[in-house]
Amino acid sequence: MTTYTEGPRSGTARAALTRRSVVAGAVGNLIEWYEFGVYAYFATVIAAGFFTPRGGGAAEALVRTYASFALAFFFRPVGAFLLGRFGDRFGRRPALVVAVLAMTSATAAIGLLPTYATVGAAAPWLLTALRIVQGLSAGGEFGGAVALMTECAPAGKRGTYGAWQSLTVALGLLVGAAAATLVTALLTAEQITAWGWRLPFLAALPMGAVALWLRLRLAESPAFLRARQEPVAEGAGGPEGGGGGGGGGGAEVAPEGWRAQVAEGGSAGRRAGRGVVVVSTVVLGCGRLMAWSAAGYTFLVVLPTYLQQTVGRSPRQALLATVVANLGFAAAILPAGRLSDRMGRRPVMVTGAVLAALAALPLLHVVQDRRSPVWLMGGAVALAGVLVGLLAGPGPAMLAEMFPTRARHTGLGVAYALANAVFSGCAGLLITELVQRTGDPDIPAYYVVVTCALGAVALATLRGDDHRRALRE
């Protein structure tokens, strides 16, 4: 018989655990996205310092910089699987401690790297190696933090508590933008190129120390402790089984496919069947994340470089537009999460995907037009951020509801990492390369339209009552 777990019930100890899980889980994600934001904001400087040998062009170097950016994303699924298996076996807390240590160390080390002018061809390889470490740690970070937050959330509030993980994406990007703005305001262009770009990366050290302290004081998820103590039920939770809070659309995950122990007497054929269901659930999760991943990176991360390289905006204008977009994103996340607890994940996320597909081209034309008044450009990028927020708010809870406790860290982490590797990590590389080859400045909008339209179809397969179902053990 399939068993289920609710969030913590009322009580001072439970409430304290819930608050600590949100803070400790979210702070590592903030550092992760702070670094990715800083890397994107200083992409042109990094390209010149690490990927431009004598005679190399600026556009070619930028493509190589984004290739390094994308490579880190493709190591995320590896990190999600390795740290996910570790977290599903030994606990969310130790996995999150390892993730924040690796992320902080790699980010600070980037700030100390020698450039191409100093060590030649070794410079881009050293940078890429650190980006790989970041990709591995980031891959395990999301699954563990979301599993912890949703497992500790009060009943009926998984959308709200999971949304805090998405909010730290916006906060991390905003803190990164603030650091980049401060550096560009206080230093000259020559100073930034020479050494100023390093300062935001080194600032990750004190941030990481705070995150590590919080996670070392964190108690383990009660749902994980219960699931580890209870025996595995053979035959529970198949594609149609158990009545569990799975992902809907006839693609429920089979818990046993992920469990360390398989009940005696299970045939190889039955285990292989469960494996197919697991893979299909992860693929479905990627499809449901497609719109969030693609639109989020296009509007929130790729935008500053696009505005400088393609539209001709100044670095300060590009940073300001990015800050406004992220403010709109941050403002929408928690309300979207709360709304999904009342209405369901499906209507909120489908609405976000459809609106993003419809609005992408008009919004891009506003920011491309140099005659657009400041208020109109600000409104356009803020609206773009709001639409991404409608997807990001319910997204973590939606993923957590697709997987059982014994596989939640691994399952949702791998789905999230694969979606980001394919639709986010390649966004900058793909958009920059296509704009360069075709000369069409509308490429970012086309990318958002296609991915959001397909994502809306995948999101439509969600069941309407997933938000009311208990998480499956």
Report the CATH number that the domain containing residue 105 is assigned in CATH. 1.20.1250.20
Instruction: Tell me if 261 is assigned to some domain.
Output: no
* HEC sequence for 72-131: HHHCHHHHHHHHHHHHHHHCHHHHHHHHHHHHHHHHHHHCCCCCHHHHCCHHHHHHHHHH
In a domain, residue 256? The reply is no
Q: Is residue 170 part of a domain?
A: yes
Q: Is residue 62 part of a domain?
A: yes
Per-residue pLDDT reduced to its tens digit, 413-425 = 999 999 988 887 7
284-298 core/surface letters (b: 16 or more CB in 10 A; e: else): bbbbbbbbbbbbbbb
Please state the domain count of the chain: 1
471 in helix, strand or coil?
A: strand
Is 464 contained in some domain? yes
Query: Which residue matches tokens 């809306």?
Result: 456
* Most confident option among 229-238, 262-271, 345-354, 408-417: 345-354
* Predicted local confidence at residue 63, as pLDDT: 65
Q: Is-contact 118 103, C-beta < 8 A?
A: no
Inform me whether the pLDDT recorded for 164 exceeds 70.
yes
Query: What pLDDT shows up at residue 261?
Result: 42
Q: Residue 59: pLDDT band by 50, 70, 90 thresholds?
A: low
Inform me whether the pLDDT recorded for 70 exceeds 90: no
Kindly tell me if the per-residue pLDDT of 357 is higher than 90.
yes
| 392 inside domain | yes
Band of pLDDT at residue 58, cut at 50, 70 and 90:
low
pLDDT at 13: 57
pLDDT of residue 292: 94
pLDDT score, position 236? 42
Residue with tokens 């590896």: 78
pLDDT in the model for residue 401: 92
On whether residue 241 sits in a domain, the answer given is: no
Which residues form the domain of 219? 15-225+246-251+274-472
Give the integer Cα–Cα distance in Å for 400 and 147: 6
| Continuous segment of H or E residues that includes residue 465 | none
User: Tokens at residue 113, please?
Assistant: 């790297």
Query: What is the predicted pLDDT for the residue at 217?
Result: 84
Q: Which of 92, 83, 101, 90 shows the shortest CA–CA distance to 31? A: 101
In angstroms, rounded to a whole number, what is the distance separating the alpha carbons of residues 176 and 323? Answer: 10
Q: Is residue 266 part of a domain?
A: no
